[in-house]
Structure formats: C-alpha cells, structure tokens
Chains A and B, each alone.
Chain A
Amino acid sequence: MSGDTTNGLIGDRVTRTEDAEFVTGQAEYTDDIATSNAAHAAVLRSQHAHAKVHDIDTSAAEELDGVIAVYTAEDMEEAETSAPRKIPSMSTDYIQVEPELFRPVIASDRVHYQGEPLAIALAEDRYTANDAVDRIEVDYERLESVTDPEAAIEDDAPTLFEDYPNNIAYDWEFGDKDEVDEAFEDAEYVASASVDEQRLIPDPLEPRATVADYDSSSNELSIQMSTQTPHSDRHAIAGILRHPENKIHVQVPRVGGGFGAKIHNYDVESLVPWCARELERPVRWQATRSEIHQTSSHGRGLNLEGEAAFDEDGKLLGVRVDGLADLGGYVSSHVHMLTTVLCIEVINSQYELPKLYSRIRGALTNATCLDSYRGVHEVAAITFIERLMHESAKEIGMDPAELRRRNQIPADAFPYETVTGTVYDSGNYQQALEKTLDVLEYDELRERQEELREDGRYLGIGLSAYTHVSGVGPADVCKEYGIFKTHWESGRITVHQSGTVTAYCGTMDFGMGHQTSYAQIVADKLGIPIEDVEIIEGDTRHLNDGVGTHASRSLVVGGSALAESADDVIEKGRSIVAHQLEAPEEDIEFEDGEFWVKGAPERSMTIQEVGSQAHRAWDVPGEPGLEATTYYLPEQMAITSGVHAAVVEVDPDTGEVEFERYLSVDDAGNRINPQIVEGQLHGGIAQGISQALYEDVVYDDNGNMVTSTLQDYAMPKSFHVPEVETVELSTPAPDNPLGAKGVGETGPIAGNAAVLNAVVDALEPLGFDGSEVDTPLTPEKIWKGVNDQD
C-alpha cells in the first residue's frame, strides 16, 4: 500500500512554505481583494428574536446619496431575475426535514431569531451602506420567544412553525430500549451523568466575506468567498439562485479560519451574488463580528443525559442516553445528522459496549441556527461517555483509569464493529492509556493529590479517552448517514514540460498548511524538490469537483487522492521510459525521481526528463502529457484515538481553575508533518478547554443575544490556555495509502471532558455534584457548587 516513497519528506517537520505570504501581510483574504466600481453591501437584520413582519419601508434608505439599491424579499420576488430559494437541508432515511424548516436566504413575513436578514442595502462605500440599513423602517409584531430547548418543548411554549406545535423537528431513536433496560436490571452498578452543552460560536478570526460579479454576455457569475467548501457552494448557490452550475465560478482567496462555520450555505453568500446579477456590477460584503455572532451557525448545544450499567467486575453492560438539541430558528443543512447518527457513532469511545439505547430530539428555538463546529457532536458523545466513566468509577469505587482499562477494546480486535455499527479500523487504546499514566506518573500524582487535600489544596486529575471518526467516505456509510455528497476527494497532478509540478486538490485550506503537507506528499513520491511543487485549491475552474475541508478529512482523503495520482504519474512515466529505453516495463525501476533499467543503472531518465518527453510527445507509447487525476473514495474510515489528561488546581474560595499540566497522547496514524499536527492539537485543545471553562452564548429572556461582541463572548486570550505536551503514537490506518488519520478535530473532542473531569475530581472532597455539570464551569458556578449546595 505504501507506494514509492523516496526522498523522505513524508514525516518531516517541514517549515510551512506558505508562511512568507502571511508574515509579510501579503496574504490576500476575501476583503483584501481590490475591486473597481463595486457596490458595498450591508444587511438589515431582525432586531427581534420572534416576530411577524408586516412591512419594510426602504424609501428613506433609497433616497440617501450614494445608495445604489435596497432589496427585500418582496423586491426579489418582483425582480426580473429569479428570486432566491431557501437553503436546503438534506432529508435522510431516518429524519425528514420538510422545506418549511429550511432557512430562507431572506426573511419575508416572519423572523425566527435575532439577526435574521430582512433587507440588503448596496451603496458606493461601506459606511453609506450601513447608513442605508439604519434608515430602513420595519413594522414588526413581536411574538413571544423561547431560546431554551427544554422550555421550547413544553406545552405552553411559543410555537415557531404551526405544523410543529411542540417545536420538535425530529425525534430519533437508536437501539432496543427493552433490551437495554434488561441489562440495567442485571447490573451490579449503575451511574449517571449529564452533559448540558452550551452553545458556542466557532468564531474564525476572519469574518465571512463575499465578493461577486456578473457578466451578462456570458451569464457567468463569479464569486470569491471565504469558505471551506468551494465546490459545494457552487452547487448550492446554483440551486438557490437558479443559475446554471457551470456558469458559476467560485474562487477562494486565503481563508482566515473556518472550524466548521464556513461549510454551510449561508444567506448573504447567496444574496451578494443575487445582487451582482441583478445590478450587473461587482458587489462586496464582509460581516461584522456581531453579525457573525448573531448569524453564523453556532456549535454544540446538545444536551445528553443517561446512565451506564456495569457488572460486578466493572465491565460495561449497557448505556442509555436521552438527548435534546437546541436547533435554533430553522434546521440548518447538517445539524440533524450531526446531532444524531454522527454523535452516537462514537458514544462508546474506546470501550466494548454491548448494548445501547438512545433517543435524541431536535428542538426549534428562537436562536441562531445550530450546525457544525470543530469536533461537531462527537464532542458531546465523548464528553458524555468520559464524564460517565468518571462518575461510574466513583460509584464502583474504582480508579477511573482502571475502569477504562477494563473496558477498552483489545488491540487485537480490529477491525472492530461497535454497537452502533461503526467500524473501527485500527488502534491501540491500551498503549495510549498506559503511556498517559506513565508520563503523568499517575500513581505518584494521586498520592500528591491526597497530600495536598490534607493541606486544603484541591488538585484534580481528569482523563479523557477518545475515538474520532476521520476520513468519512465509504459510500454505504455516507448513504446511510444521508450525506448528500459521498466524501470522496479529488486530486490532480500535472508534471509540466519543465519538470515542475502543479497539484490540485478539492479540499480547502483555512490554516492547516495544505500547501506544505500536500507538497511533502507529492515531492516525496515523485522524488523532486518540494520547491518544485505548487499546490492549488479553492478554484472551481482549476478542478472540476471536490468535497472540501471538514470532518478531519483533508489529509486523509485529499492527501490520499494526491498520493494515488502521484503513483499513477509514476506508472505513466514508467511506460514512457520503457518505450524510450526499449526495455520491458516491469524492468523499469523508480526511486528518488529517477527511472532506470534494472541491472543497467546508466540507462536512466529523470522524472523531469520524462515530463519533457511526455509533452514533446515525439515518441511516447500512449497519450501525450504527464498527469493523473484521482477521485479517492475511502473504503474504511480512519479512526483517530488517544487519551488526554488535564491536571488542575481549583481554589474553592474563588472558583478559579489553574492548569498544572495538559497532556495530549494521540494516535493519528502516520504524521506527514508532525509540526502541523501538533499545531492542530494545540488550537483544538484550546477550544476544548474553552468549552469547559469559558465560552458561552447567552440570550436574555426576549431572545436578544447578550454575547454579540468579543467583549462579552469569552474567546480565550493568550493567558487563558496552558502549554500542551504532546506525545505521538501511531497505528497507521490500514485503508488509505498514507496510513494517516485525521487530527483536526480531536482537540475539542478530547479536551472538554479532560478538563471537566479534572475539575470535578478536584472538588470531589468538597461535595461538588459531578453528575450534572453546567458548562462552562466559570469560577462563579464552581464557587456556588462548592459553597451553597442546597
């Protein structure tokens, strides 16, 4: 499977080749694009969380000097070009999402959350566009609102959609309840835990932004935007605007972070091209931070509570779990899958779990739409099971490390089919746990914890053993999940006549260094200098189709597409060399960029010479040129795993949590660029820690967002996150040619539980109730949990 790896670049800590552009300020993000004659767009957003809209008066705005146009849903209906449709969510076999629940691109007579777009104003400059928005008058009839999902499903709650009187968009079950209940009857021990996930804002530092232009002579709509999924955007915008997909060109400049928030098809990203088409002039827009907070999809927001049953040896017999997701005002594109099948697929984490029953409901609320954020709802699943293991250990009277050890899937059991039908391809969970305990000097640490407690100091040790599904792709799995485009990825490699190489991939970097790690793969395989490889992503004209960057998939699936294309290029080169050197193909060897005839090394050609010959094509056996395209479709998912540990000290008088240590032991298979992998871990872990301790979206009783700026929303600052120690383990993924497993999302998946377990562990002697933690665990909540326990 390993193919020809020659010059050893794979696995090197190569310094990122794209960095110079960023550190000199020359990197071009969407809002950096220079345009001439562009109209600047600003969006009027609903001031209320739930209201009927009787009238929108744009006349004062239109009269303002410098205003080009103002459009409402009604204007769009009346315009010559077709009005935008709603943003579709995919129905699956297990959950139907009726079009009524789709997000509109622009609201007309009813709004469901604060910030929903009602009109778009276009002006000669940004400031005037905002002035125009300020002058639009809206006649609202306010309705009662609800932002708490538990309250939303009560009988007396206000209703968002008439056909959904209890605000329940879906009610999904997995497993046989009676069978699981029986397991509980036979149990020696039963423990419970709940994860009450707050909403989080993914908050990439670059806000969403779009620049669109339209050429009526060719009917071409060109869109530059900040996105993780250029090809999917092209497809979605084609549907929403009823514009031919082959007449839409999406091109993505540098993207300043995404974290899942730039996957979905959003409203304004279709409104801006609609306006460009209507006005036949360029239109540009960049969201403000408050717009991002109020309208970019939020993450998390899934409550899980349940129990685990154990036999007398502490072996798991079954788990039952009840979930409620806070969907927001509409059902966003992926949220129903993420909060159900894609959540429970890892709910057994690293353990042999014989029985599972779960029920998860989705509640419509007057809040921003919920969807993916790095780690998606695997975070809730792992946090739930890892909190449950911690609570269970207490119940059983066993050390939490020992309880995990007893239940881990043995290293010789792979491939292992879990209770949910997920196939775990490979791993060595015991090794990760033992390594963690070893590095921590766990036994000594527990002793020190005891000693410190005697001095009134509260040290906590939190473990979090995780699995993470990366490289989703097998067609049957995607079909079962209802993913509308199976997660293959495309990669094309062209060897130019001069011998330099361009490689194209359908993924989209937003900070993970694809330009370097992909070039390492290509250069390593072809045996050429890394400087000779150019990586291109994010342009629907360069590569016909692609899936994009999310779900920890780029390296695993996109990298594999490039690796296979490189192998194909080498094979094609081999046939040219065999022909020109008049030797049988099977006698042509290849290593380090050079082909030669077996036993006659002087009869050789470099890959650059072969490229040159292939283009000159005076004498080649097959078609000219030297290039290959692969649509790589994984046959198996690559399951990343590991154990994280947080060691904290909590001051019960102030509720402050101080980190002593954070350890991240991860098996990501083969690491192509360990420095980049570690960077992904650091950033992801910061987000996990922040979920446990800091960030929280808050709405007031009327559905107004209280945390609409970075002043009120606690994105961690430099002194909030500890230094992370990383330890590398590797069981290569057997299915993909790189042996790689995705690591992008593991930080928050493991991090949240590690920190929560550590805080609960620290406070155990003080009577803190660990079975129901309300995150984020702010100093105030900790203080209350310790000091007034009524």
Chain B
Amino acid sequence: MTEHDIEITVNGTDHEMTVDSRTLLVHALRDQLGYTGPNVGCESSMCGACTIHLDGEAVKSCTVLAVQADGSDVTTVGDFADRDSLHPIQESFSEEHGLQCGYCTPGMIMTTSELLERNPDPNEEEIREALEGNLCRCTGYQNIVKAVESAAEKMRTTATAEGDD
C-alpha cells in the first residue's frame, strides 16, 4: 500500500498527515484527526451523512480519497460550533425540530449552508431538490424543510440589516 504525506486545513487548523492511497477522506478526518462531525451512514455516496465543504463546495467525504484532498480546505459542521452562539441554520434545525436522532444532521446542515449561499430564498421544491442526496430516516423531512426555510429567512434578514449599515 502506498503512503502519502498530505496537508489539509480543517476548520481553519492545518494538519500534516500520512495516509494510504485508499484512505477515504471521511476516515482520515474521523479516525486520524478526530473530526467526528461527519458521520458514516453508507460509505457509498448515498446517504449524505458525511457531507462536508471541500474548498467551499458541499461534498460527500466518503467519495473523496484523502490524497485528493491534499492542499484543500475542509469545513465540517464542527466549524459552526466554535462560535459563541449557534449559526442560524443550526438554530433553525433545533427550533423547527428538524432533527431526531441527529445522525443525518451534520450532513443536512452542510448541504443547507451551501444551498443558502447559492440561493438565499429557496422555495419548498428547491429545498427538497437540494436535499435529495441527504437521507433522513427519522423526520419524514417535513421539519427539515421548515428549518431550511426559517434559516433562509433569518439569514436574509441579517444580510439586509448588515447591508443597511
């Protein structure tokens, strides 16, 4: 097995590590670096529980090899956690009861955050479409959709308020 030395930045912290060619990014993050935010639900790109941002784009970290992420910037759901208060997306998932067991939640939040960056005012259909790659077995998606709507609204209000300054 060939080994590679790689460098990745996770949630703002630089890491140097050695990985096998076949090591999946999600395992490198979880097993080697201890970032357990992204969860493993299928290892086959179907469930979305492992979704992270790779250089700003939402990707399923079980479909990326760690070596492919060499030199990249990774953000996990944990990055929101370092702040003093919850991010509006996190807050809305909680307020709208958009999670039950929480296993899908890190992935849902990362996908939502990318969606809202692209489209700050999505309608229900657009939300459901954007979440297509993220499975949730607990909620029937109803309150997840509501959470995304509510987060979008909060973020728009903040953006407008900031724009007013």
**How far apart sit A675 and B139, CA to CA, in the bound complex (Å)?**
12
Taking a contact as CB atoms under 8 Å apart, the answer to whether B99 and A22 are in contact is yes
Taking a contact as CB atoms under 8 Å apart, the answer to whether A23 and B139 are in contact is no
B131 within 8 A of A: yes
Taking a contact as CB atoms under 8 Å apart, the answer to whether B142 and A719 are in contact is no
Q: Which 4 A-B pairs have the closest CB atoms?
A: A25-B37, A256-B103, A511-B101, A22-B102
Chain B residues 65-118 with CB under 8 Å of chain A are 76-78, 80-81, 86, 90-91, 93-95, 97, 99-106, 109
**How far apart sit A675 and B37, CA to CA, in the bound complex (Å)?**
26
Contact of B132 among A31, A717, A721 (CB under 8 A): A717
Taking a contact as CB atoms under 8 Å apart, the answer to whether A682 and B136 are in contact is no
Taking a contact as CB atoms under 8 Å apart, the answer to whether B103 and A29 are in contact is yes
Instruction: Given A711-B44, A718-B128, verify A206-B103 contact (CB < 8 Å).
Output: yes
Nearest A residue to B41 via CB reads: A205
A754 to chain B, nearest CB (A): 14
Taking a contact as CB atoms under 8 Å apart, the answer to whether B44 and A709 are in contact is yes
Taking a contact as CB atoms under 8 Å apart, the answer to whether A257 and B137 are in contact is yes
Can you list 29 pairs linking A and B with CB atoms under 8 Å apart? A15-B97, A16-B94, A16-B97, A19-B99, A19-B102, A20-B90, A21-B102, A22-B99, A22-B102, A22-B105, A23-B77, A23-B80, A23-B94, A23-B102, A25-B37, A25-B77, A25-B81, A125-B31, A205-B136, A207-B41, A255-B101, A257-B100, A257-B138, A679-B97, A679-B138, A682-B142, A683-B139, A718-B136, A719-B129
Contact of A23 among B27, B46, B86, B101 (CB under 8 A): B86
**How far apart sit A203 and B136, CA to CA, in the bound complex (Å)?**
10
* Residues on A with beta carbons closer than 8 Å to the beta carbon of B22: 127
B58 within 8 A of A: no
* Residues on B with beta carbons closer than 8 Å to the beta carbon of A675: 97
Contact of A25 among B76, B125, B145 (CB under 8 A): B76
Q: Which residues of B contact A (CB under 8 A)?
A: 20, 22-23, 27, 30-31, 34, 36-44, 46-47, 49, 76-78, 80-81, 86, 90-91, 93-95, 97, 99-106, 109, 125, 127-129, 131-132, 134-145
**How far apart sit A150 and B87, CA to CA, in the bound complex (Å)?**
55
Nearest B residue to A209 via CB reads: B40
* Residues on A with beta carbons closer than 8 Å to the beta carbon of B109: 23
Taking a contact as CB atoms under 8 Å apart, the answer to whether B101 and A257 are in contact is yes
**How far apart sit A255 and B100, CA to CA, in the bound complex (Å)?**
10
Count of chain A residues with Cβ under 8 Å from any Cβ of B? Answer: 56
* Residues on B with beta carbons closer than 8 Å to the beta carbon of A747: 140
**How far apart sit A125 and B3, CA to CA, in the bound complex (Å)?**
15
Nearest B residue to A18 via CB reads: B102
B91 to chain A, nearest CB (A): 8
B29 to chain A, nearest CB (A): 11
Contact with B along A255-291 (1 / 0, CB 8 A): 1110100000000000000000000000000101100
Taking a contact as CB atoms under 8 Å apart, the answer to whether A204 and B137 are in contact is yes
B43 to chain A, nearest CB (A): 6
Q: A27-B102, A205-B137 are in contact. List 12 more A-B contacts (CB 8 A).
A: A19-B93, A24-B80, A26-B78, A127-B22, A206-B103, A288-B43, A289-B47, A679-B143, A683-B137, A718-B141, A719-B128, A721-B141
Taking a contact as CB atoms under 8 Å apart, the answer to whether A206 and B139 are in contact is no
For B38, B46, B102, the residue with the greatest tally of chain A CB atoms inside 10 Å of its CB is: B102
A367 within 8 A of B: no
Taking a contact as CB atoms under 8 Å apart, the answer to whether B93 and A23 are in contact is yes
Taking a contact as CB atoms under 8 Å apart, the answer to whether A710 and B141 are in contact is no
For B86, B99, B127, B140, the residue with the greatest tally of chain A CB atoms inside 10 Å of its CB is: B140
* Residues on B with beta carbons closer than 8 Å to the beta carbon of A724: 140, 142
* Residues on B with beta carbons closer than 8 Å to the beta carbon of A31: 30, 36, 39-40
* Residues on A with beta carbons closer than 8 Å to the beta carbon of B131: 717-718
**How far apart sit A256 and B104, CA to CA, in the bound complex (Å)?**
8
A593 within 8 A of B: no
**How far apart sit A209 and B94, CA to CA, in the bound complex (Å)?**
26
Nearest B residue to A509 via CB reads: B101
Nearest B residue to A510 via CB reads: B101
A676 within 8 A of B: yes
A90 within 8 A of B: no
A32 within 8 A of B: yes
Taking a contact as CB atoms under 8 Å apart, the answer to whether B78 and A19 are in contact is no
* Residues on B with beta carbons closer than 8 Å to the beta carbon of A22: 99, 102, 105
* Residues on A with beta carbons closer than 8 Å to the beta carbon of B127: 718
Taking a contact as CB atoms under 8 Å apart, the answer to whether A205 and B47 are in contact is yes
Instruction: Given A26-B81, A511-B101, A709-B46, verify A686-B39 contact (CB < 8 Å).
Output: no
B1 to chain A, nearest CB (A): 8
**How far apart sit A723 and B139, CA to CA, in the bound complex (Å)?**
11
**How far apart sit A628 and B102, CA to CA, in the bound complex (Å)?**
32
B94 to chain A, nearest CB (A): 4
Taking a contact as CB atoms under 8 Å apart, the answer to whether A717 and B103 are in contact is no
Taking a contact as CB atoms under 8 Å apart, the answer to whether A289 and B97 are in contact is no
**How far apart sit A27 and B78, CA to CA, in the bound complex (Å)?**
11
A715 within 8 A of B: yes
**How far apart sit A715 and B134, CA to CA, in the bound complex (Å)?**
11
* Residues on B with beta carbons closer than 8 Å to the beta carbon of A256: 39, 41, 101-103
Taking a contact as CB atoms under 8 Å apart, the answer to whether A23 and B105 are in contact is yes
**How far apart sit A566 and B136, CA to CA, in the bound complex (Å)?**
36
* Residues on B with beta carbons closer than 8 Å to the beta carbon of A206: 39, 41, 101, 103
A15 to chain B, nearest CB (A): 6
Taking a contact as CB atoms under 8 Å apart, the answer to whether B141 and A23 are in contact is no
Nearest A residue to B49 via CB reads: A205
Taking a contact as CB atoms under 8 Å apart, the answer to whether B138 and A28 are in contact is no
Contact of B102 among A207, A511, A686 (CB under 8 A): A511
Nearest A residue to B91 via CB reads: A23
Instruction: Given A205-B47, A679-B143, A710-B135, verify A23-B103 contact (CB < 8 Å).
Output: no
B22 to chain A, nearest CB (A): 7
* Residues on A with beta carbons closer than 8 Å to the beta carbon of B102: 19, 21-23, 27, 254, 256, 511
**How far apart sit A289 and B78, CA to CA, in the bound complex (Å)?**
25
* Residues on A with beta carbons closer than 8 Å to the beta carbon of B27: 126
Chain A residues 326-363 with CB under 8 Å of chain B are none
A752 to chain B, nearest CB (A): 14
A685 within 8 A of B: yes
